[in-house]
Chains A and B, each alone.
Chain A
Amino acid sequence: MKKILLIVTTFLVSFSMNAEDAKYMKAMEKNVATLDSATAISTYSEVGNAFERIGSANSKEWLPLYYQAFCTVMIGMKQETPSKMDEYYDKAEAIINRADALSPDNSEIVVVQSWINSMKISVDPMTRGQKLGQRSGMLNEKAIKLNPENPRAYFLKGSGLYYTPANYGGGIDKALPVLEVALEKFKNAKNENSIVPHWGQFQTEELIKKCKKSE
Chain B
Amino acid sequence: MLPDKTMKAKLIFFFPLLLLMVGANAQTIISGVVKDSKGISLPGVNIFIKDTYDGTTSDASGKYSFTTEETGEKILVATSIGFQPFEQKITIASEPISVSIKMKDAISELKTVTISAGSFEASDEKKMVMLRPLDIVTTAGASGDIYGAIQTLPGTGIVGEKEGLYVRGGDASETKTYIDGLLVDNPYFTSVPDVPQRGRFSPFLFKGTSFSSGGYSAQYGQAMSSVLILESQDLPEKSMSNIGIMSLGVSGGSTKRYKNTSIGVFGGYTDLGPYFALVSQNREWENAPRAINGSFLLRHKTSATGLIKAFVSYSWNELLLAVPDTSDPLLLRTYNYNLHNNNIYSSASYKEIVLKSWTMNAAVSYSDNRDHIRVNEYPIENKNTFFESRLTLSHSIGELSVLRFGGEFQNVKSAITVSPVDFKEKYSAAFVEADIYITPKLVSRMGLRGEYSSILDKTNLAPRVSLAYKSGEFSQFSFAYGNFYQVPQKNNILNYSNAGLSFEQATHYIFNFQHVSDMRTFRIETYYKDYNNLFYLNSANNFGTNTGYGHSRGIEFFYRDKKTIKRADYWISYSYLDTKRLYNDFRKEAMPAFAANHTASLVFKYFIPKISLQPSLTYAYSSGRPYYNPNNPDFLADRTIDYHNLSVSFSYLTSIRKSFTVLVFSVNNVAAVKNVFSYNYSSDGSNRMAVGPTADRFFFIGMFINIGSQKDDSDKYN
Contacts and interface: CB of A to CB of B under 8 A. Distances in A.
Interface in A39-69: 42, 45-46, 48-50, 52-54, 56-57
Interface string B9-44: 001000100100010000000000000000000011
Contacts of B18: 12
Given A57-B51, A137-B710, A126 B237 contact: no
Contact of B124 (A82, A131, A137): A131
A54 B394 CA distance: 39
Contact of A82 (B44, B53, B82, B518): B518
A127 B124 contact: yes
Contacts of A16: 22
A172 to B, nearest CB: 12
A87 B658 contact: no
A19 interface: yes
Contacts of B53: 23, 27, 53-54, 57
Most A CB atoms within 10 A — which of B7, B81, B127?
Answer: B81
Given A15-B22, A45-B44, A134 B108 contact: no
A167 B663 CA distance: 12
A138 B11 CA distance: 60
Contacts of B43: 42
Interface in B74-124: 77, 79, 81-82, 108, 110, 124
Contacts of B77: 56
Interface string B42-65: 011010101111111100000000
Contacts of A15: 22
Contacts of A207: none
A53 B52 contact: yes
A52 B22 contact: no
B712 interface: yes
A81 interface: yes
Nearest to B237: A134
A161 interface: yes
A98 interface: no
13 contacts: A12-B22, A16-B22, A45-B57, A46-B57, A48-B46, A49-B55, A49-B57, A56-B50, A56-B52, A56-B77, A131-B237, A167-B654, A177-B714
A135 B607 contact: no
A119 B580 CA distance: 52
A57 B74 CA distance: 13
Contacts, number: 101
Contacts of A87: 81-82, 108, 110
Interface in A176-201: 177-178, 180-181
A161 B81 contact: no
Contacts of A165: 609, 612
A128 B57 contact: no
Given A12-B18, A181-B717, A52 B44 contact: no
Interface in B512-528: 518-519
Given A50-B57, A138-B238, A174-B714, 9 more contacts: A45-B57, A52-B48, A83-B110, A87-B108, A88-B81, A134-B237, A138-B710, A141-B710, A161-B714
A135 B237 contact: yes
Nearest to A52: B46
A117 B519 CA distance: 21
A42 B48 CA distance: 18
Contacts of B655: 167-169
Nearest to B706: A130
B700 interface: no
B499 interface: no
B660 interface: yes
A86 B57 CA distance: 22
A83 B124 contact: no
Interface string B654-692: 110010100000000000000000000000000000000
A56 B714 CA distance: 40
B710 A86 contact: no
B132 interface: yes
Contacts of A91: 81
A19 B127 CA distance: 47
B241 to A, nearest CB: 13
Contacts of B127: 83, 86
Contacts of B44: 42, 45, 49
B637 interface: no
A174 B420 CA distance: 70
Contacts of A12: 18, 22
Nearest to B18: A12
Interface in B633-653: 653
Contact of B48 (A56, A127, A141): A56
A101 interface: no
A4 interface: yes
A1 interface: yes
Nearest to B240: A134
A117 to B, nearest CB: 10
Contact of B712 (A57, A131, A134, A169): A169
Interface string A1-40: 1001100100010011001000100010000000000000
A72 interface: yes
A85 B430 CA distance: 42
Given A52-B46, A57-B53, A83-B127, A4 B11 contact: yes
B660 A168 contact: yes
A1 B238 CA distance: 65
B294 interface: no
A53 B46 contact: yes
B717 A178 contact: yes
B4 interface: yes
B653 A128 contact: no
Nearest to A24: B53
Nearest to A123: B518
Nearest to B712: A169
Contact of A8 (B15, B81, B612, B653): B15
A46 B59 CA distance: 10
A180 B717 CA distance: 9
A30 to B, nearest CB: 11
Nearest to B15: A8
A131 B518 CA distance: 20
Given A53-B53, A57-B51, A169 B658 contact: yes
A72 B81 contact: yes
Contacts of B46: 48-49, 52-53
A53 B110 CA distance: 27
Contacts of A54: 53
A134 B653 contact: no
B708 interface: yes
B282 interface: no
A126 B717 contact: no
Nearest to A138: B238
Contacts of A167: 612, 653-655
Contacts of A131: 124, 237
B661 to A, nearest CB: 9
- Nearest 6 Cβ contacts at the A-B interface: A49-B46, A177-B717, A134-B237, A45-B44, A127-B132, A167-B612
Contacts of A135: 237
B718 interface: yes
Contacts of A57: 51-53
B461 interface: no
A131 B108 CA distance: 23
A95 to B, nearest CB: 11
Nearest to B716: A177
B205 interface: no
A127 B110 contact: no
B332 interface: no
Interface in A77-125: 81-83, 86-88, 91
Given A45-B44, A72-B81, A128 B124 contact: yes
Contacts of A5: 11
Contacts of A137: 710
A134 B718 contact: no
B134 interface: yes
Nearest to A166: B655
Contacts of A42: 43-44
